[in-house]
Structure 1
Amino acid sequence: MKKIALLTAVTFFAGCTAIDVKQVDSSHQIDHVCFENNPKVIVADFVSTVEDVFHDHHITTEVYSGRKPEHCNFKLTYTALRSWDFSPYLSHAELRLFKGRERIGYAEYHLNGGGGFALNKWASVESKMTPVVNQLLAQYK
């Protein structure tokens, strides 16, 4: 009975993080990605964190608004949502990477149940998104 209570408590307090990634194949030979600015995203440090991880994989980035620049063969669209529990925190994010109109990669981070009572829901955007983007770009060392 104590084991069941302990398991229930751990599950209740831990919350669940769901990560879904469709990795980008290295055959695409990505060296530069243009990020389509999403002004609805108000999660602090989100874009800069994602850009930093791309740079760690030796892929340069730029952010644009409006029409995609002609030199951009690869485009990233993103969304990020924050929730509030005493202070704001990242609760959901999606990245979609395109070559032309073809989606070649996808990554999603999601806190199930808004993170519940898990203390790690307030972790930094960097600690949440770095592993997700690393999975997306795993074939780019």
Structure 2
Amino acid sequence: MMKKISLFVALLLGGCTAIEIKQVESSHNMDHVCIEYNAKVTIDEFVRIVEDIFQDHGITTEVYKGLTPENCNFKLTYTALRSWDLTPYLSHAELRLFKGNERIGYAEYHLKGKGGLALNKWASVKTKMTPVVNRLLAQY
């Protein structure tokens, strides 16, 4: 009986996070990215954290609403979803990076089963997104 309980707990806790990355190639010479504001994202610190990580890679950012500014060769779109279990937490995020209309990078963070019993589901947005964005921008 104890083995069955241990196996059940291991299944609930293990493999709860899925990360998918299409890394941006350094040949794009990206030094500035415009971030398209998404009013549907209600995680206040999400964009600021993503901007900080881009800046750690030497890439400046600006957030815009409406039409893409003319000086923007690179554009980032994003979505981020919260789930609730005693307190809200980030359960899913996607970043899509474009050069013109061509998608040159993609990053997805997803908690399988909304994290189940895993305690790391309550980790900060920064803790969750830093390794994701670092992998997206690994060549920078």
Normalising by structure 2, we get a TM-score of 0.95
Q: Which residue of structure 2 aligns with residue 44 of structure 1?
A: 44
1:53 aligns with 2:53: yes
Whether the aligned pair in 2 keeps the contact of 1:15 and 1:117 (CA below 8 Å) is no
Q: Which runs of 5+ in 2 are unaligned?
A: none
CA contact (8 A) 1:83 1:114 kept: yes
Give unmatched runs, 5+ long, in structure 1: none
Scaled by the length of structure 1, the TM-score of the pair is 0.95
- Inter-partner Cα distance in structure 2 for 1:46 and 1:83: 14
3-state SS of paired residue (1:47): helix
Q: Which residue of 1 aligns with 2:63?
A: 63
The root-mean-square deviation of aligned C-alpha atoms, in Å, is 1.3
Matched residue, 1:101: 101
Conserved 8 A contact 1:30-1:59: yes
Instruction: Give the structure 2 partner of residue 139 of structure 1.
Output: 139
Q: How many residues align?
A: 140
C-alpha distance in structure 1 between counterparts of 2:40 and 2:14, whole Å: 29
Aligned residue type for 1:131:
P
Q: Residue 77 of structure 1 corresponds to which residue in structure 2? A: 77
1:113 paired to 2:113? yes
Shift of 1:2: 4.8
Following TM superposition, the consecutive aligned residue runs of length 4 or more in structure 1 with deviations greater than 3 angstroms are 1-5
SS in 1 for 2:41: coil
Give % identity. Answer: 71
